[in-house]
């Protein structure tokens, strides 16, 4: 699945075209869409280094001198730093738990035939086809009754519960393709079931784990609806929540440069990670669709 997309971006053996002249329109169209995509992002980063006066009066001009203090102000005064750590804790916890539980379930269901196996599998997978909006109201009260509203563990458990079904679905297919002989040999060597899983099967499933891990990380990092409903305490806002709240309150305080800076801080880690791992990420994110 991943290898399908993970090939060199430029095909090497192209057919030599008989037409002598190159039509400039395709290049123009492709370049135009690249500009449309990149320009707003570049503009936001540049604006984060401007003064409020420059932002309001000269929207297209680059900053006279870069004002990095905007970033410092956003990080501390506008609490972007705190939101960032909150996101890191919640998403980190949920990601570890999701990968652990998801791979265990997927492996157990893919490798152990038992009565009710299919039922358990479909119980998990069916959840992918329901819109979260349908569960929103009852979920709020479930979390409230458990006393988990606005807590890190509450968010981590809910994030995990909603990320596990896709993880199971994806890894189930993956574990099924792994050769049975390896596991059987390990059992003959005296490995316990748990040891076969952790020492033999998990390493073999690494490409699948990486792909679904990237997919889950981005999905959880960008989550907005669940924290909006389940995480009302501003001190525990995750980054997406904090940024949204900031963009509303910015109207009153009119710290434009601070808001641009907050947005840039939220964008930069994703940008850096993307440039570093872009091929893996594109493969991981589209793998879910190519099944």
Shortest separation between residue 61's beta carbon and another protein, angstroms:
10
Which stretch, 65-73, 76-84, 101-109, 176-184, contacts another protein (CB under 8 A)?
101-109
How many Cβ atoms sit within 10 Å of the Cβ of residue 114?
8
Whichever of 47 and 70 has its CB closer to another protein, that residue is 47
Residue 83, C-beta contacts closer than 8 angstroms, at least 6 positions apart: 237, 238, 239, 241, 242, 243
Bin 150: left if φ > 0, else alpha if -120 < ψ < 50, else beta: left
Shortest separation between residue 66's beta carbon and another protein, angstroms:
19
Shortest separation between residue 142's beta carbon and another protein, angstroms:
6
- Cα→Cα distances 26→21, 22, 29, 36, 103, Å: 13, 9, 5, 15, 44
Q: What is the distance between the alpha carbons of residues 234 and 232, in angstroms, rounded to a whole number?
A: 6
Q: Which 14-53 positions form the footprint of another protein (CB under 8 A)?
A: 14-18, 22-23, 26-27, 29-31, 33-34, 36-41, 43-44, 47
Q: Binding marks (x or -) toward another protein, 132..161, rule CB under 8 A?
A: -xxxxxxxxxxx--x----------xx-xx
Q: Contact 66/49 with Cβ under 8 angstroms?
A: yes
Any alpha helices (H) in the chain, and if so which ranges? Answer: 2-5, 24-47, 52-57, 69-76, 80-111, 117-126, 132-145, 152-177, 180-188, 193-195, 202-204, 206-221, 225-230, 239-253, 256-287
Whichever of 26 and 203 has its CB closer to another protein, that residue is 26
Interaction between residue 91 and another protein (CB under 8 A): no
Which stretch, 67-75, 78-86, 198-206, 280-288, contacts another protein (CB under 8 A)?
280-288
Interaction between residue 10 and another protein (CB under 8 A): yes
Q: Which 197-226 positions form the footprint of another protein (CB under 8 A)?
A: 197, 218, 221-222, 224-225
Interaction between residue 290 and another protein (CB under 8 A): yes
Among residues 88, 89, 204, 267, which is the contact residue for another protein, using CB under 8 A? Answer: 267
């Amino acid at each position: 699945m991943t290898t399908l997309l993970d090939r060199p971006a430029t095909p090497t053996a192209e057919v030599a075209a008989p037409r002598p002249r190159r039509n400039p329109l395709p290049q123009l169209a492709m370049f135009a869409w690249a500009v449309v995509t990149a320009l707003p992002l570049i503009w936001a980063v540049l604006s984060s280094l401007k003064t409020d006066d420059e932002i309001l009066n000269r929207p297209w001009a680059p900053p006279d001198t870069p004002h990095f203090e905007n970033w410092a102000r956003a990080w501390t005064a506008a609490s972007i730093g705190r939101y960032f750590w909150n996101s890191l804790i919640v998403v980190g916890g949920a990601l570890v738990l999701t990968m652990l539980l998801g791979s265990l379930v997927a492996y157990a269901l893919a490798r152990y035939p038992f009565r009710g196996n299919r039922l358990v599998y479909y119980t998990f997978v069916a959840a992918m086809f329901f819109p979260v909006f349908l569960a929103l109201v009852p979920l709020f009260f479930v979390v409230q009754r458990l006393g988990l509203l606005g807590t890190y563990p509450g968010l981590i458990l809910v994030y995990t519960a909603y990320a596990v079904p896709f993880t199971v679905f994806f890894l189930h297919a993956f574990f099924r393709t792994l050769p049975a002989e390896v596991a059987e040999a390990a059992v003959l060597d005296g490995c316990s079931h748990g040891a076969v899983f952790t020492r033999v099967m998990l390493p073999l499933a690494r490409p699948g784990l990486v792909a679904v891990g990237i997919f889950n990380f981005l999905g959880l990092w960008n989550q907005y609806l669940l924290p909006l409903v389940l995480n009302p305490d501003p001190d525990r806002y995750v980054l997406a929540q904090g940024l949204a709240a900031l963009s509303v309150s910015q109207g009153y305080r009119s710290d434009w440069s601070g808001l641009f800076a907050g947005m840039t801080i939220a964008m930069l880690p994703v940008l850096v990670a993307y440039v570093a791992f872009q091929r893996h990420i594109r493969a991981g994110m589209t793998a879910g669709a190519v099944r």
